Amino acid sequence: MQTIRVNDKTFIPYLTAAQIDEQIKRIASSLNKDYEGKRPLFIAILNGSFMFASDLFKELTIEAEICFIKLASYKGTKSTGQVITSIGLDTSLTGRHVVIIEDIVDTGKTMHEFLPQLINQQPASLKITALLHKPDALAYPVTIDYLGFNVPDKFLLGYGLDYDGFARNLKEIYSLTDE
């Protein structure tokens, strides 16, 4: 893996495709055990989590459903502090075992604002899986039940994560250099 340029910024390799794959398999095997017979409903948060959601879902051997909602809070390399919903939930959560799929929990604001809406519908249980978590950036308390990696408070991209819409297609995850 090499240093890459996206728009005006330089990024260095941070996680390989093999490292990502290993964590996804580990998370999937926990989910396969914990949700056996529970027919869980996964909710993937677009756009960032589409690749993680797809790779994780393929590793599940249990009966499970998946649906998608679209929330956004980032502009460029910074959180705007505002969470906008542009595609809402069209499935009832009442009595369901629900697992949210996030690419990354950063300040925690997205989850903090979104969880009460879900709890309102009285799911049987509600857990979060996230590929990445920046513990140093967390401003709202969020518990991640199934986590891939704790990462430093730096802007990351690739594997679904974008910089102003670009570079989601990378198989690896890159980190912004401190130029």
Query: What is the crossing angle of helices 50-58 and 17-34, to 10°?
Result: 60
Decide which of Mg ion, ligand IMP, none touches 99; Cβ closer than 5 to 8 Å per partner kind.
none
103 is catalytic: no
Q: Taking contact as CB under 6 A, which single stretch among the options 62-70, 118-126, 153-161, 164-172 is the one that binds ligand IMP?
A: 153-161
Residue closer to Mg ion (CB basis): 41 or 69 = 69
Residue closer to ligand IMP (CB basis): 28 or 130 = 130
Site string for ligand IMP, 40-59 (x = CB under 6 A): -----x--x-----------
The correct pick among 24, 161, 167, 173 for binding ligand IMP (CB under 6 A) is 161
Cβ-proximal residues to 76 (8 Å cutoff; 6+ apart), any chain = 163, 164
Determine if 79 is a binding residue for ligand IMP (CB under 6 A).
Answer: yes
Structure tokens belonging to residue 147: 């986590």
Min dist CB 39 to ligand IMP, Å, is 26
Decide which of Mg ion, ligand IMP, none touches 100; Cβ closer than 5 to 8 Å per partner kind.
none
Q: By the 8 A CB rule, do 136 and 164 touch?
A: no
Residues 35-74 that bind Mg ion (CB under 5 A): 48
User: Which one, of 11, 61, 2, 4, lies nearest residue 32 by Cα?
Assistant: 61
User: Which one, of 146, 129, 70, 81, lies nearest residue 107 by Cα?
Assistant: 81
Residue closer to ligand IMP (CB basis): 9 or 109 = 109
**What span, in angstroms and rounded, lies between the C-alpha atoms of 43 and 62?**
16
Residue closer to ligand IMP (CB basis): 38 or 112 = 112
**Which residue intervals of 35-85 are DSSP H helices?**
50-58
